[in-house]
């Protein structure tokens, strides 16, 4: 707590490239994840690069503005070259000369793609083109992206175009290599940063893991990557380890994004949590369902599940400390114990036991967790205790229960319920992890975190920022949560925040789309909020219990009964 660490920040370069310490004159990577979808703007600036239409429209006023477009099947978001009745090139102007620019693009059927590089006098100095964009393999598959690169001694701007009227061409990443003669880097961020004394990972050192959920593309932002490397000692893949993104077809795996997260974590001395192997929401239907819409036979579904678990855990063996083996299997309906998922209908009630057995066979050294939301609530807590006992009776390895902890500021009893639930789970001989922590400040009608939940017309009172009194109330709420964590050393071994900053939170679109939420410790400008100071202060205060409790990866149970 009293010393500063120097972090050599590993910036992730090209897609799939392993993380490494990037030189100060390396590529600057720009993405558009934080841009507001669907709002036309005269221009948009990111890291000093200005994006704007290359010329005024001839027909449509709307075409004279840039706009952002969400990808249909992935979390990607990009800047749009398309209008109903005309197509205008989008121009990116650089504050310093560049020697190379790569655009990552995707588009509608019938679109071509052209990227032109210009010098300071407006002369075309290089050009790259593609006659037709690639098309996706099926309606449930993401639209594939591709890259076009232009190179010249001093590129002042680039333009991309190619969408026909009524179509679209979208750029969701720009990689810029500054000229060696440029006086500054485009984003002005140094590669080596001095970590401020008093970070979450320092406060938690030796006692528990403190982490964040990330998507690999966000780590391309140097400012965000610096914050993540300074503050956290473990990472969870927000989407890229889930079954559908990582195993979209029976014979095809996509490890690209998950590999990048692992590489970043390894470069910064972090653990990695695999989320998740079996989940009803983001699993490909072929795994448990036939082309006729009927459940597969038990044997065929088990073969599919085994092949998925073997391949994914085998790929990350020795790199991932623990896995959410099954996610959100418990029913929210009062009389039902388990959800009636595709996996359950195909395999049977024991599909959870089978998943844990297969996971342990695939990587005997990995910790195995069951993860769910609302399991601090008394009714769901009792259902979770029943599941724990069933798994233990079956003789499978279960290291911890994951409590997602998607809390709401207007639920004052949640920290007390959390305290009681942790004690109840610990009594069954398992550890507890707070796996998806956030504190929602917006009003809503429903509770829980079922991703299919949607509300319309919810209030959005904090679009212009979080009022100080609400920020302080949120800070006090977070302090209460971490006081509970302090009460259970050796039992609570990890706390993971679901996101890195307010702008990156899923709660901006759940349960009401398009609102401005403020649920995390850093604001949209990566400035710490009062909640950060409250968590840091509480976390840094030693709690009762053993002074050296186990953390994931230690393979010490800190006084808990041995696992089968």
* Residues 475, 480, 485, 487, CA torsion sign: positive
Average pLDDT over residues 509-526: 91
The SS3 call for residue 135 is: coil
Instruction: Tell me the whole-structure pTM to 2 decimals.
Output: 0.66
What separation in angstroms does the CA of 145 have from each of 71, 76, 112, 172, 250? 11, 10, 13, 9, 21
Whole-number pLDDT of residue 138: 72
d(CA 210, CA 197): 16
From the list 497, 508, 537, the residue with the least C-alpha distance to 442 is 508
d(CA 53, CA 97): 20
d(CA 437, CA 446): 18
Is residue 557 part of the annotated active site? The answer reads no
Instruction: Quote the strand ranges of 412-499, DSSP E.
Output: 431-440, 492-497
Q: Which CATH architecture has domain 25-178?
A: Sandwich (2.60)
Whole-number pLDDT of residue 79: 82
d(CA 433, CA 258): 21
Residue 542 has pLDDT above 80, yes or no: no
**Residues 179 and 134 sit within 8 Å (Cβ to Cβ):** no
Q: Given 3.60.15.10, 3.20.20.80, 3.40.50.12240, 3.20.20.140, which CATH number is that of 192-444+460-540?
A: 3.20.20.80
Q: Where in the chain is the domain with CATH 3.20.20.80?
A: 192-444+460-540
Is residue 230 part of the annotated active site? The answer reads no
Instruction: Write the CB contacts of 459 (distance below 8 Å, at least 6 apart in sequence).
Output: 442, 443
The SS3 call for residue 178 is: strand
Average pLDDT over residues 284-308: 94
Whole-number pLDDT of residue 366: 98
From the list 551, 521, 14, the residue with the least C-alpha distance to 263 is 14
Q: Which residue has the higher pLDDT, 179 or 370?
A: 370
What separation in angstroms does the CA of 510 have from each of 9, 216, 404, 417, 502? 32, 21, 15, 23, 13
Instruction: Write the CB contacts of 333 (distance below 8 Å, at least 6 apart in sequence).
Output: none
Take residue 366 and report the two structure tokens written for it: 């990995």
d(CA 342, CA 300): 13
The residue to which tokens 């952002």 are assigned: 68
Q: Where in the chain is the domain with CATH 2.60.120.200?
A: 25-178
What is the per-residue pLDDT across 377-422, written as a single tens digit (0 to 9) for each?
A: 999 999 999 999 999 999 999 999 999 999 999 999 999 999 999 9
From the list 408, 415, 463, 462, the residue with the least C-alpha distance to 438 is 408
From the list 485, 433, 547, the residue with the least C-alpha distance to 559 is 547
Residue 57 has pLDDT above 70, yes or no: no
The one catalytic residue in 328, 357, 367, 376 is: 328
Q: What is the DSSP string of 274-338?
A: EEEEEESSSS-GGGTB-TTSSBPPHHHHHHHHHHHHHHHHHHTTTT-SEEEEEES-B-SSTT-SB
What separation in angstroms does the CA of 96 have from each of 184, 187, 222, 270? 8, 10, 18, 35
What is the per-residue pLDDT across 185-209, written as a single tens digit (0 to 9) for each?
A: 334 343 333 333 489 999 999 899 9
If you average pLDDT over every residue of the chain, what do you get? 83
Whole-number pLDDT of residue 550: 45
d(CA 260, CA 216): 6
Residue 548 has pLDDT above 70, yes or no: no
**Residues 198 and 1 sit within 8 Å (Cβ to Cβ):** yes
d(CA 253, CA 87): 36
Instruction: Write the CB contacts of 483 (distance below 8 Å, at least 6 apart in sequence).
Output: 415, 538
The one catalytic residue in 116, 202, 238, 436 is: 436
Q: Residue 212: enclosing H or E segment and its boundaries?
A: strand 209-214
Q: What is the DSSP string of 385-437?
A: HHHHHHHHHTT----EEEE--EEETT-TTHHHHHHHHHHHHHHTT-EEEEEEE
Query: Phi and psi dihedrals of 293, rounded to 5?
Result: 85, -5
């Amino acid at each position: 707590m009293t010393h500063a660490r120097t972090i050599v920040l590993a910036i992730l370069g090209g897609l799939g490239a392993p993380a490494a310490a990037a030189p100060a004159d390396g590529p600057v990577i720009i993405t558009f994840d934080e841009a507001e979808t669907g709002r036309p703007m005269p221009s948009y600036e990111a890291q000093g690069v200005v994006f704007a239409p290359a010329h005024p429209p001839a027909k449509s006023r709307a075409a004279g503005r840039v706009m952002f477009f969400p990808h249909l099947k992935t979390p990607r978001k990009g800047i749009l070259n398309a209008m109903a009745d005309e197509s205008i090139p989008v121009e990116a102007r650089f504050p310093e000369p560049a020697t190379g620019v790569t655009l990552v693009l995707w588009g509608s059927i019938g679109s071509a793609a052209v990227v032109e590089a210009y010098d300071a006098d407006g002369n075309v100095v290089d050009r790259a083109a593609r006659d037709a964009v690639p098309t996706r393999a099926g309606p449930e598959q993401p639209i594939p992206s591709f890259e076009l690169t232009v190179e010249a001694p001093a590129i002042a701007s680039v333009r991309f175009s190619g969408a026909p009227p009524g179509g679209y061409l979208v750029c969701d990443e720009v990689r810029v290599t500054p000229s060696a003669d440029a006086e500054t880097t485009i984003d002005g961020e140094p590669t080596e940063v001095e970590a401020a004394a008093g970070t979450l990972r320092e406060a938690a050192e030796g006692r528990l893991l403190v982490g964040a959920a990330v998507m690999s593309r966000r780590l391309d932002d140097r400012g965000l990557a610096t914050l993540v490397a300074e503050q956290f000692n473990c990472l969870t893949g927000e989407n890229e380890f889930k079954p559908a993104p990582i195993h979209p077809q029976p014979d095809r795996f996509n490890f690209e994004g998950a590999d990048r997260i692992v590489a970043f974590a390894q470069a910064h001395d972090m653990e990695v949590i695999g989320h998740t192997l079996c989940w009803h929401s983001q699993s490909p239907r072929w795994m448990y369902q036939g082309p006729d819409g009927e459940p597969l036979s038990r044997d065929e579904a088990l073969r599919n599940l085994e092949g998925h678990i073997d391949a994914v855990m085998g790929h990350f063996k020795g790199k991932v400390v623990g896995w959410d083996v099954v996610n959100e299997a418990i029913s929210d309906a009062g009389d039902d114990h388990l959800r009636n998922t595709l996996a359950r209908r195909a395999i049977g009630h024991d599909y959870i036991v089978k998943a844990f057995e297969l996971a342990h066979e695939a990587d005997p050294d990995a910790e195995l967790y069951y993860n769910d939301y609302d399991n601090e609530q008394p009714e769901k807590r009792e259902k979770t205790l029943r599941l724990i006992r069933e798994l233990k009776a079956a003789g499978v390895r279960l290291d911890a229960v994951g409590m997602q902890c998607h809390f709401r500021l207007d639920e004052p009893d949640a920290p007390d319920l959390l305290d009681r639930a942790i004690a109840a789970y610990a009594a069954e001989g398992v550890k507890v992890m707070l796996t998806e922590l956030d504190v929602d400040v917006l009003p809503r009608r429903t509770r829980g975190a079922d991703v299919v939940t949607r509300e319309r017309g919810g209030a959005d009172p904090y679009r212009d920022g979080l009022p100080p009194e609400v920020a302080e109330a949120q800070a006090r709420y977070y302090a209460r949560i971490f006081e509970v964590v302090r009460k259970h050393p050796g039992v609570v071994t990890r706390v993971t925040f679901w996101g890195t900053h307010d702008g990156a939170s899923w709660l901006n679109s759940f349960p009401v789309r398009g609102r401005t939420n403020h649920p995390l410790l850093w604001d949209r400008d990566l400035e710490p909020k009062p909640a950060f100071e409250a968590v840091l202060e509480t976390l840094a205060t030693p709690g009762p219990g053993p002074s050296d409790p186990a953390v994931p990866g230690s393979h010490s149970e800190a006084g808990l009964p041995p696992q089968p």
